[in-house]
């Protein structure tokens, strides 16, 4: 198997970010975004997807949580895209339904190279810690766009912490499934011969 480990940096007037990602890791994470709940979600993403992940972000949190959350998602999406290369041999499709107490998240994923995002659900509270709840949906959209994923996500529940965490865990499990190497395949999983 080829090495699917990358480092991606992004620097703007609003954030400075470095992401190191190993798709074929063991779930080790070191995450410092300045947003405690986002750190928790990225740690959960790494743990449940068995990705080794380091994220360091210095963002304009004096403004709000938007730029940091969005730019971390953009950078992580770019890292996923770069780590997968031409996507030869991957499983490509996956879906997961993940509960967390009363909340249930549904993730349907195609690692297609064609970005698309659809979301069905609402968050039960406006904020979880220092993360605005709607930023979880925006994170998923920004990640899908920059990773080249077709991602359909949905959630229902009564506790926004549980709802958002179920989404991140579901995404992690589905992405782990879809990015695995299928030993029966050597080319891209497409009738076109490429993704």
Tell me the chain's radius of gyration from C-alpha atoms.
16
What does each of the 195 residues of the chain score in pLDDT, given as a tens digit?
A: 689 999 999 999 999 999 999 999 999 999 999 999 999 999 999 999 999 999 999 999 999 999 999 999 999 999 999 999 999 999 999 999 999 999 999 999 999 999 999 999 999 999 999 999 999 999 999 999 999 999 999 999 999 999 999 999 999 999 999 999 999 988 888 888 778
The CATH number for 5-179, chosen from 3.40.50.11540, 3.30.230.40, 3.40.50.1980, 1.10.340.70, is 3.30.230.40
Which residues touch 142 (CB under 8 Å, ≥6 apart)?
70, 73, 74, 77
Distance CA 86, CA 84 (A): 6
The ranges assigned to domains in the chain are 5-179
pTM for the structure as a whole? 0.97
pLDDT at 74: 98
């Amino acid at each position: 198997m080829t090495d699917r480990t990358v480092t991606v940096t992004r620097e703007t007037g609003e954030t400075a970010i470095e992401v190191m990602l190993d798709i074929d890791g063991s779930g080790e994470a070191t995450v410092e975004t300045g947003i405690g709940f986002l750190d928790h979600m990225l740690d959960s993403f790494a743990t449940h997807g068995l990705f080794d992940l380091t994220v360091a972000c210095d963002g304009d949190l004096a403004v709000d949580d938007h730029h940091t959350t969005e730019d971390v998602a953009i950078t992580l999406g770019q890292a996923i895209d770069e780590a997968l290369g031409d996507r030869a041999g991957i499983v490509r499709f996956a879906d997961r339904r993940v509960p967390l107490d009363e909340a249930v998240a549904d993730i349907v994923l195609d690692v297609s190279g064609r970005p698309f995002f659809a979301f069905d659900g609402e968050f039960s509270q406006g904020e979880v810690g220092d993360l605005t709840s709607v930023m979880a949906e925006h994170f998923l959209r920004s990640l899908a766009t920059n990773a080249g994923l077709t991602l359909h996500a949905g959630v229902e529940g009564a506790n926004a912490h549980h709802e958002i965490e179920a989404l991140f865990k579901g995404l992690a499990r589905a992405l782990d499934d879809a990015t695995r190497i299928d030993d029966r395949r050597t080319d891209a999983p497409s009738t076109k011969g490429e993704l």
